[in-house]
Amino acid sequence: MAPTRADNTLRNGHSEEKHILLLGSGFVVPPCLEYLARRKTNQITIASLDLERAHQLARKRSNIFVTTVDVGNQDSLDQLVSRHDIVISLIPYTFHAKVIRSALKFRKHVVTTSYISPEMKAFDAEAKEKGVMIMNEIGLDPGVDHVYALKTIDEVQSQGGKILSFVSYCGGLPAPEASGNPLGYKFSWSSRGVLLALRNEAKYLKDGKVVKVEGSELMRSAVPINILPALAVVGYPNRDSSGYGERYNMPHAHTVLRGSLRYACFPEFVQALVDIGFLSEEAKPYLSTDAADIEWKDVLVQMLDLPKYQEEAVEEAIASKSGLSDSMALQRVIQGMKWLGLLSSTKVTKRGGNLLDTLCATLEEKMVFEEGERDMVLLQHTFEVETGKGELQTRTSTLLEYGEPKGFTAMAKTVGTPCAIAVQLILDGELNIPGVQAPITKDIYLPIMAQLEKEGITCKESIIPH
């Protein structure tokens, strides 16, 4: 399908026009489009399988056009990429390598918000040879976190100081007034993706030694994080941050940890769900689509290997499976499961034939943002510093961003806007560093930071002497 209204522009556009291909139409796209569409010489084509959504995004904007493309079809992708100056890939990361391959054929720049995978990194030499910039990790986490971490690290080291410890936590959460559920969480994207991430193992550096946390124990590793007195949040390690001492050029750092933030009620409840077996992808015949309807309390009986549903026996089995000896903690978990309907006669919305996907169907019914509710992004870097004069100090860099009830969510803004900034800087020639890149060097993060601050995306910094 040809781009609506775009062909004439692509063929007859003036030399000052820049042609941008945006792959995807997900929740971070609107603020990205809003930023890029301010420049009327930017001619933007949204390529999406969801044409209705894409047309909504393009509505009332004369410089945004719509088309569809099968990214799995290399010829179709090549035809579209060849007619644009730069490609923004906001589709699942598994397609990025295919997009980069196409862009390199035609010497087109690419921007993604994703972590650099080995498959993407493999294009580095070719991109350098062809003078093409493949910009990645430019959203929130990763992205804004890189920018403001490197700002402080480079400032300290340029003055002869050392970073002795770096601990960073970031989380996308409901605003406090919208957090009233057992998880203190609401889903703005795939609930399955959120839950699967909680099964990943994590690694970090503590006192010079690598600490490994198994996925099954990830929630038990959560600790209180004191960022703002009004917010009871906890943090747990995210992925493998053990190599960030080298990546951020902190040779003296004995502790390096990057983690996720949640409200204090989250880890305890999720860990109970893990221990009971709700995050299992094992096929269950009683959850198959052709099985008879089943109520949640009867699912729980199957999971806990009980002969029948009796509330006292169920609660005892939950306590045993989850290892919760604290009566208050156990009651919070029980009350949370009741709130979700897991101990009720509610018929299960079956999905995927397994417990994980079936639980996700219920979470998505119960835990979505209602109209008028705000989300919140909270990020804090904490640095233990030895200055060039030998003085010890703690430095923090904190970002707190709220969504707008009738505007962009905080998460969409802090992912989509940095992405758009990088695109515009590349188009304007202010970023021209060939290769597979991330915003971790001054020549990349400083221009981006200057524009982030103009958009109000900035960290508040403090220094506390010891």
Pairing of strands 162-174, 202-206: unpaired
pLDDT of 152 over the 70 cut: yes
What percentage of the chain reaches a pLDDT higher than 90? 81
pLDDT of 272 over the 60 cut: yes
pTM, two decimals, is 0.90
Q: What is the pLDDT of residue 60?
A: 81
Taking alpha carbons only, the member of 58, 68, 81 closest to residue 24 is 68
Q: What is the pLDDT of residue 9?
A: 39
CB atoms under 10 Å from CB of 371, counted, come to 6
pLDDT of 29 over the 70 cut: yes
What percentage of the chain reaches a pLDDT higher than 70? 97
Taking alpha carbons only, the member of 113, 161, 153 closest to residue 134 is 113
Q: What is the pLDDT of residue 311?
A: 87
Residues with Cβ < 8 Å from 134, sequence gap 6 or more? 100, 103, 109, 110, 112, 120, 123, 124, 127, 435, 436, 437
pLDDT tens for each residue of 244-262: 999 999 999 999 999 999 9
pLDDT of 8 over the 50 cut: no
d(CA 57, CA 275): 42
Q: What is the pLDDT of residue 291?
A: 93
**Confidence category of residue 5, pLDDT binned at 50, 70, 90:** very low
What's the rounded mean pLDDT across residues 420-432? 97
> Tell me, what amino acid is at 335?
Q
Tell me which residue has tokens 């007034």: 177
Q: What is the pLDDT of residue 188?
A: 74
pLDDT of 227 over the 80 cut: yes
Q: Within 13 Å and on the Cβ side, how many CA atoms surround 390?
A: 0
Decide if 54 contacts 66 (C-beta within 8 A).
yes
What's the rounded mean pLDDT across residues 158-163? 97
Residues with Cβ < 8 Å from 416, sequence gap 6 or more? 28, 29, 30, 31, 32, 33, 35, 139, 408
pLDDT tens for each residue of 165-220: 999 999 999 999 999 998 899 987 678 888 888 888 999 999 999 999 999 899 99
Taking alpha carbons only, the member of 179, 28, 152 closest to residue 89 is 28
What's the rounded mean pLDDT across residues 370-390? 96
Q: What is the pLDDT of residue 452?
A: 98
Query: Which tokens belong to 135?
Result: 């910009």
What's the rounded mean pLDDT across residues 401-405? 95
* Average pLDDT of the chain, as a whole number: 93
Catalytic residues, by residue number, are 141
Residues in the chain: 466
Q: What is the pLDDT of residue 213?
A: 96
pLDDT of 47 over the 90 cut: yes
**Confidence category of residue 149, pLDDT binned at 50, 70, 90:** very high
pLDDT of 13 over the 70 cut: no
Tell me which residue has tokens 């139409």: 25
d(CA 465, CA 152): 16
pLDDT of 343 over the 80 cut: yes
What's the rounded mean pLDDT across residues 355-364? 93
> Tell me, what amino acid is at 61?
R
SS (H, E, C) the chain: CCCCCHHHHHHHCCCCCEEEEEECCCCCHHHHHHHHHCCCCEEEEEECCCHHHHHHHHCCCCCEEEECCCCCCHHHHHHHHCCCCEEEECCCHHHHHHHHHHHHHCCCEEEECCCCCHHHHCCHHHHHHHCCEEECCCECCCEHHHHHHHHHHHHHHHCCCEEEEEEEEEEEEECHHHCCCCCCCCECCCHHHHHHHCCCCEEEEECCEEEEECHHHCHHHCEEECCCCCCCEEEEECCECCCHHHHCCCCCCCEEEEEEEEECCHHHHHHHHHHHCCCCCCECHHHCCCCCCCEHHHHHHHHHCCCCCCHHHHHHHHHHHHCCCCHHHHHHHHHHHHHHCCCCCCECCCCCCEHHHHHHHHHHHHCECCCCCCEEEEEEEEEEEECCCCCEEEEEEEEEEECCCCCCCHHHHHHHHHHHHHHHHHHCCCCCCCEEECCCCHHHHHHHHHHHHHCCCCCEEEEEEC
